[in-house]
Structure 1
Amino acid sequence: MKKYILAIDQGTTSTRAIIFDHESNIIAMASDEITQIYPKPGWVEHNPNQIWVSVLAVMARVLLEAKIKANQIHAIGITNQRETTVVWDRKTGQPIYNAIVWQSRQTSTICESLKDQGYDQLFRDKTGLLIDAYFSGTKIKWILDNVKGAREKANKNELMFGTIDSWIIYKLTGSVHVTDYTNASRTLLYNIKDLKWDKELCDILTIPMSMLPQVKSSSEVYGHTLAYHFFGEVVPISGIAGDQQAALFGQTCFEKGTVKNTYGTGCFMLMNTGDQPVMSKSGLLTTIAWGIDNKITYALEGSVFVGGSSVQWLRDGIKLIESAAETEGLALKLKSNEGVYIVPAFVGLGTPYWDSDARGAIFGLTRGTGIEHITRATLESICYQSMDVLRAMENDTNLPIHSFKVDGGATINNFLMQFQSDILNLEVERPVIQETTALGAAYLAGLATGYWKSKDEIKSSWKLEKLFSPKMPEDVRRKNIKGWEIAIKATRQFKNND
């Protein structure tokens, strides 16, 4: 009987289930949307029970779609939106509040208070993270402080905390309370050097450590499905990784100095830095890439706030285009940007500038500037911003870049990928399988159960769809980069022009 791996990819806007075979091919896929809840401006929440029901729904649908039986699933891997926080009752298994989503800013005042007390460097040294509402720690504190009776229950060991991976595994198994290194490293509570929950940080945030899940490796059997949740079958759950780390693993970035960049609404870039954490001087986050076989691999992470969403702005904001698919053809009508630059700082600038007050700008307009110039400059801005993140990584690590792999919806644009290769002066590798996040979770699950024997075997099944090699003359590349640097500088100066 042929066996497969099931990956559950629980994201911000949807829950997806994908079945992979041994050659990393997608056999079937099912998806369910998640309702976004906005109780106040800047707050984003999900209903944890809706997330759980969506997991059950997509598992059922994907098996029907694939026309395979539940007993053909060899193992299950889970990848998830990171940082999103669920607190539930230990006795009833019911959440005491909505899941607070990673994007939610409702704990900003807690973060400001921690910074005012001078805790920034302490958290940075222990967790590799900045004090920010993005991460789980302040979200747990907010729930304990704001939900009636929560603090008392927590102190009596009656509450459990988990990121979404923990919540799904708890529900699937009925009792197991675990997470993995990658998700723990995004909580602001986990010491990434000592590899344990940090009592000092928990005390600062007034979070009882009894709430926290056991931290396991990213690839081992954590528990098994309850038969009544998985069509009568007891199947091992054996892989966990947060979404960006799962994508790094799915792209087989196993060596030090290998990089993946995900081009979505924004861009997320991760670099494998090997067995030692690199503490960034450039505003990058230090995080755990994965932990397998008692070995920890670390990563640096940087983000571009506005990537593909700048193309959405062209379409929906200023209505220059009708679809994202038009952008490639428009950009290719020109041999260069003819001096036009766009800095899409619609919500500030991310790595390495961390300038939340900057706002978007267009430079170099002439009477001859048309839709093609604006479109091309918008696509180029995604590449320049990614270049800035990669430069920061190179400066922090002094590592040569061994490979640059790409995934995400925007990578379908060949102009974008070629310009990225040109401006980085690096080969850019686009894989056949774009679902690298789910694939990473599948690989981690299959490694633990012997479905794949080694990382080398996994690497041999990774398939390249297209290789983009740099073609731009060096003098042109330097001139283009200089123009971008001037545009960034001018953008950042303009904000102070009150």
Structure 2
Amino acid sequence: MSAEEVGVADVASATEASSDPASTSPTVKRKNQETPHLEKKLKGCFIGSIDQGTTSTRFLIFDGVGNPVAQHQVEFTQKYPHPGWHEQDPREILDSVGTCIQEATAQFVSQGHRISDIAAIGITNQRETTVVWDTVTGEPLYNAIAWPDTRTGALVRELKSHKDADKLQEICGLPLSTYPSSVKLLWLLRHVHAVKDAYAEGRLTFGTVDTWLLHWLNGGMEKNHHVTDTTNASRTMFMNLHTLQYDDRLMEFFGLDKEKLHLPRIVPSSCPKSFGVVARGPLKGIRIAGCLGDQSAALVGQQGFTPGAAKNTYGTGCFLLYNVGEKPVMSNHGLLATVAYDFGGSMRVAYALEGSIAVAGSAVKFLSNNLGFFEKSHQIGELAAEVEDNGGCVFVTAFSGLFAPYWIDDAKGTIFGITQYTERGHIARATLEATCFQTKAILDAMELDSGHQLKQLAVDGGMSNSDLCMQTQANIIGIPVDRPAMRETTSLGAAIAAGFAVGIWEKFAELKEINQKNRTDFQPNISEAKRAEMFERWQRAVSMCRGWLDPEDTDEEC
């Protein structure tokens, strides 16, 4: 899932004022540091970035100092055929990429540039979303199953009862849940006849969205290019986090035969050759030189290159990554271990602790699309600003269960504290607060796992545009929240990976001034006692939202 695609990119200006100055009126410091002189050659270098997110696709072209000079965005269809199911059409995803490239490159050329000025392109993508296709024909065998999909709940409960289930996380960094790609693939093998047959005949190809895009950008069946990078592979539960290769113990646990299943080759995230060359269209002949899962890309775009650096991306979901350095740290407090980035060559792979929140901006969409609270997502700010506080309402937005650090698969979205006093504004405010409370729970877990308290949180993504939401976040976590002026950090991260591969940059230090101008710090402005009271109420609500999924729930054949 992408950082900014969620459709709440303008949650901002209307939320900047509130009638409760103690808790919601922004306490900010503006950072107006001017970017020093950079070499002229960097402004003449350009890098493209495909940002394929959960609900939309975009293509941006950045100059060598990190400024976007052209871009285009397309939303694509989300399919919800049953409660808890979330699917996408792989062909529509591919078409959306083609449209964005066509429109953004036209803008670029209209500015007087040439396509040949683009040195390389990078890709960043929604992770865990699972695509399967026929190795012979290249045709998808089913819709892509998107990362928030929870149809695998019964399957996960079954897998947790198997021998050695509790040892998987030490190998791959992920717990058994509905989240990773592995259980989605198993569901497809059990329930979709076309997938079963392809596997039995040895013609089943598996991939995440990056793999699917790279296959077709390189010419599809003509080249049959089949690769993924370490950040995406680390989300499948098939890759050993220590060796960065597929692990036979993991494959055996899931009952998969590598001779029958075509898995993508795992390569570093930044490489001038591994990802191939665009085969057709406006970018024909341009190298694809970088690939990062979207949350890793956002960490790179926020320049989280040192251990202890952290970022939180408020997109469709919300994802907090904390750089732990060159060795993976296995969490004892409900977090994931993952690859932060892997630039190959002489650069050592970096790992992260991750806290994943399934629902963030998608809860805002829910209020708009399902309940009709407002027409446009950004209007949640206006609605929330009409009231002083949440009026006693707590909204546990567990539409896909609860992810880190709770991992409650049988939770459902639940609103507590509704009375006749409750207005739409209270629910709007409680919706924004839900993401902030879950971020607080993740930060608490990260402090326990790392032994260090974060001093500042860098933020990006659609909901981060809301001053009200970011001030609430600072109040709830009790540390400053640091927001950049240019919040296309996910796309920028993919561009940085590609730029390193082709020599535009050679050291992380060369990036230190990128996107540092006009950043905003939100300072906490409530008491510790008030903060603790708010969080205790949230924790009570979480404890009461369990048990809404029937243990007997099974899935239908397709």
Q: Same fold (TM over 0.5)?
A: yes
1:97 to 2:142 alignment: yes
Aligned 1:95-174 pairs, distance under 5 A:
95-148=140-193, 150=195, 153-154=198-199, 157-173=202-218, 174=223
Q: Which ranges in structure 1 are unaligned for 5 or more consecutive residues?
A: none
In the alignment, which of 258, 268, 289 is matched to residue 209 of structure 1? 258
1:410 to 2:452 alignment: no
Tell me the amino acid that sits aligned with residue 175 of structure 1. Answer: N
Higher relative contact order (CA 8 A, sep 6+): 2
2:232–2:292 contact (8 Å) kept in structure 1 = yes
1:430–1:464 contact (8 Å) kept in structure 2 = no
1:82 to 2:127 alignment: yes
Tell me the amino acid that sits aligned with residue 242 of structure 2. Answer: K
**Residue identity (%):** 38
Q: Which deviations, in whole Å up to 9, do the C-alpha atoms of 1:204-238 show, x marking residues without a partner?
A: 323232511111101112243254x1447422111
TM-score, with normalisation over the residues of structure 1?
Answer: 0.88
Aligned 1:30-429 pairs, distance under 5 A:
30-67=72-109, 68-148=113-193, 150=195, 153-154=198-199, 157-173=202-218, 174-210=223-259, 211-221=262-272, 222-227=274-279, 229-231=280-282, 233-293=284-344, 295-312=348-365, 325=378, 328=381, 337=389, 340-347=392-399, 348-355=401-408, 356-357=410-411, 360-363=414-417, 375-429=428-482
Q: 1 CA distance for matches of 2:464 and 2:521? A: 11
| 1:445 corresponds to | 498
Q: 2 CA distance for matches of 1:111 and 1:472? A: 42
Q: 2 CA distance for matches of 1:175 and 1:239? A: 19
Q: 2 CA distance for matches of 1:12 and 1:493? A: 29
Q: CA RMSD in A?
A: 3.0
Q: 2 CA distance for matches of 1:272 and 1:456? A: 17
Aligned 1:476-491 pairs, distance under 5 A:
476-489=527-540
CA distance 1:65–1:209, shift in 2 (3 Å): same
CA distance 1:297–1:75, shift in 2 (3 Å): same
Q: 2 CA distance for matches of 1:137 and 1:63? A: 36
CA distance 1:180–1:318, shift in 2 (3 Å): closer
Count the aligned residue pairs. Answer: 492
Q: 1 CA distance for matches of 2:161 and 2:430? A: 40
Q: 2 CA distance for matches of 1:99 and 1:311? A: 24
CA distance 1:483–1:14, shift in 2 (3 Å): closer
CA distance 1:313–1:37, shift in 2 (3 Å): closer
How big is the shift at 1:315? 5.1
How big is the shift at 1:240? 0.6
Q: 2 CA distance for matches of 1:394 and 1:303? A: 16
Other structure's SS at 2:333 match: coil
Other structure's SS at 1:472 match: coil
2:397–2:434 contact (8 Å) kept in structure 1 = no
1:27 to 2:78 alignment: no
In the alignment, which of 18, 23, 37 is matched to residue 60 of structure 2? 18
Q: Which deviations, in whole Å up to 9, do the C-alpha atoms of 1:183-211 show, x marking residues without a partner?
A: 11011111102221011221232323251
CA distance 1:379–1:205, shift in 2 (3 Å): closer
Q: 1 CA distance for matches of 2:363 and 2:503? A: 43
Q: Which deviations, in whole Å up to 9, do the C-alpha atoms of 1:103-162 show, x marking residues without a partner?
A: 333444432321122443122121111222321122333344445465565466533322
TM-score, with normalisation over the residues of structure 2?
Answer: 0.79
Q: 2 CA distance for matches of 1:230 and 1:87? A: 25
2:321–2:353 contact (8 Å) kept in structure 1 = yes
CA distance 1:325–1:235, shift in 2 (3 Å): closer
Tell which deviates more after alignment, 63-72 or 487-496: 487-496
CA distance 1:206–1:338, shift in 2 (3 Å): closer
Q: Which deviations, in whole Å up to 9, do the C-alpha atoms of 1:273-297 show, x marking residues without a partner?
A: 1112121122111111111235221
Tell which deviates more after alignment, 272-281 or 358-367: 358-367
CA distance 1:494–1:386, shift in 2 (3 Å): closer
CA distance 1:101–1:361, shift in 2 (3 Å): closer
Q: 2 CA distance for matches of 1:375 and 1:38? A: 24
1:136–1:187 contact (8 Å) kept in structure 2 = yes
| More helix, by proportion | 1
Tell which deviates more after alignment, 25-34 or 177-186: 25-34
Tell which deviates more after alignment, 484-493 or 423-432: 484-493
1:340–1:374 contact (8 Å) kept in structure 2 = no
Other structure's SS at 1:292 match: coil
